[in-house]
Structure 1
Amino acid sequence: MTKTRPTIVIAAGGQATRMGGNKPRQLLAGRTLLDHALTWAMDHSDDVAIAVRGKDQIAELPIPLLIDRIEGIGPISALDNAFRYAEQKARDSVMLIGCDQPFLPGDLANRLAREIATNGCAMPVSHGRDHPMAALWRVDCAALADYIDGGGQSLWRFADAVGVTRVDWGDGCDPDTFANINDPAALAKAESQLSPRSD
């Protein structure tokens, strides 16, 4: 089990080509997707940062902003940012979440921390699917650097390389719990789920 509450880094640097615009600034129930992610993260950690491709992606916030060190390698660049930031803060673990996951469960951080044991990653699983973008990682900058230097870009393969505990949320878990909002249709669906129902 981790010694402290994990650092949480929000990955907000994706291209968002299917969204037709800047994903972190997309509105959901009157708030940006990034604001939803920040609220969740701050409820579960006292150390939160945001990983982006460039400073122009999001409005200025009183939150540490981590700029991609390596371009063009996908979400693994956000994990690279997260590891380096957490190491600087002397944290032994870090959770990486997407800015587009507004339905993450409240017990996610604690449950993964209980299950990670001596492995390098604890990853939630629901309905037979792994969710590396909502995983807890043991900080190991050297291992990640070696993986990236060797051409590795997959979060799944890195998790397997460092040892992964898969934590199953069960088939009773809402299918949207770990969902990413990747297109306007998914955003509209999430909007309908969060909007108050009228009798």
Structure 2
Amino acid sequence: MGLILAGGLSRRMGGGDKGLSLLGGRTILERIVMRLRPQVGALFLNANGDAGRFEALALPILPDNVPDFPGPLAGVLAGLDHAAQAGFDDVAVVPCDAPFLPADLVARLRTGTQAGRGAVAVSAGRRHPTAALWPVHLRSALRKALVEEDQRRVEAILRRHDFAEVTWPAEPFDPFANVNDSAGMAEAEALLARFPAA
């Protein structure tokens, strides 16, 4: 199962849905769906508020099931809860602001896991905590960390559960480059101009 995390408040983009920003004639979310859909058996969008704004994506919406927008971990938990009910063993989670995701993301993350561990993507020496494969059996531990301990940092949970690292080259471009602000959008547009197939 795949899950795109779009439940945040996009403060650095001035609010709104950064995944709906246009890049090369398509929204960032459309680009992510095109990359991720062939890699998973079912694809969902974690989003809060009016689901109608994502209608063009034709994806089922999973809202946070923890109140007060506690961050990406709430979206991960919503995905794990749904996956458990639907009979999936793991959830490939990606952010809504990374339009150049690898076409082999899920397969390589899955290959990098052993003995029930999760896996997280790494490029240019940097971990990308919201690009990871989460085993469904971690959902109880994640709920406890999020609800009882108020632990909202994804990286802290990845370390706690010893997620394996799977590395991608950052050349000719970093496939996990994200669009968090206007500077990031300008960089993404320049990258797309140089690599139209990206």
Tell me the TM-score normalized by structure 2.
0.88
C-alpha separation in 2, matches of 1:102 and 1:73: 24
Is the CA contact (8 Å cut-off) linking 2:51 and 2:61 kept in structure 1?
no
1:167 alignment partner in structure 2: 166
Alignment pair present for 1:54 and 2:73 = no
C-alpha separation in 2, matches of 1:155 and 1:121: 13
Return 26-35 or 123-132, whichever deviates more.
Answer: 123-132
2:101 alignment partner in structure 1: 104
Give every structure 1 segment of 4 or more consecutive aligned residues whose post-TM-superposition deviation is greater than 3 Å. 172-175
Residue 158 of structure 1: how far off its partner (Å):
1.1
2:154 alignment partner in structure 1: 155
C-alpha separation in 2, matches of 1:52 and 1:40: 19
- Could you report, residue by residue, the CA deviation over 1:15-37 in whole angstroms, capped at 9, with x for unpaired residues? 11222332121101111111111
Return 5+ residue gaps in structure 1 as ranges.
1-6
Identify if the C-alpha distance between structure 1 residues 24 and 165 changes in structure 2 by more than 3 Å, giving closer, same or farther: same
Identify if the C-alpha distance between structure 1 residues 138 and 173 changes in structure 2 by more than 3 Å, giving closer, same or farther: farther
C-alpha separation in 1, matches of 2:50 and 2:18: 14
2:13 alignment partner in structure 1: 19
1:129 alignment partner in structure 2: 126
User: In percent, how many aligned pairs have the same letter?
Assistant: 34
1:65 alignment partner in structure 2: 61
Tell me the TM-score normalized by structure 1.
0.87
Residue 192 of structure 1: how far off its partner (Å):
2.0
Identify if the C-alpha distance between structure 1 residues 174 and 159 changes in structure 2 by more than 3 Å, giving closer, same or farther: farther
Aligned residue pairs total: 190
- Could you report, residue by residue, the CA deviation over 1:163-196 in whole angstroms, capped at 9, with x for unpaired residues? 21112225x5445321221001111221122237
Is the CA contact (8 Å cut-off) linking 1:100 and 1:180 kept in structure 2?
yes
Is the CA contact (8 Å cut-off) linking 1:76 and 1:155 kept in structure 2?
yes
Superposition CA RMSD, Å: 1.9
C-alpha separation in 2, matches of 1:187 and 1:57: 25
Is the CA contact (8 Å cut-off) linking 1:127 and 1:175 kept in structure 2?
no
Is the CA contact (8 Å cut-off) linking 1:126 and 1:175 kept in structure 2?
no
Is the CA contact (8 Å cut-off) linking 2:5 and 2:93 kept in structure 1?
yes
Look up the SS of the partner of 1:180 in the other structure: coil
Alignment pair present for 1:8 and 2:2 = yes
C-alpha separation in 2, matches of 1:160 and 1:193: 32
Residue 57 of structure 1: how far off its partner (Å):
7.3
Return 33-42 or 186-195, whichever deviates more.
Answer: 186-195
Is the CA contact (8 Å cut-off) linking 1:13 and 1:57 kept in structure 2?
no
Is the CA contact (8 Å cut-off) linking 1:119 and 1:165 kept in structure 2?
no
1:3 alignment partner in structure 2: none
C-alpha separation in 1, matches of 2:151 and 2:117: 16
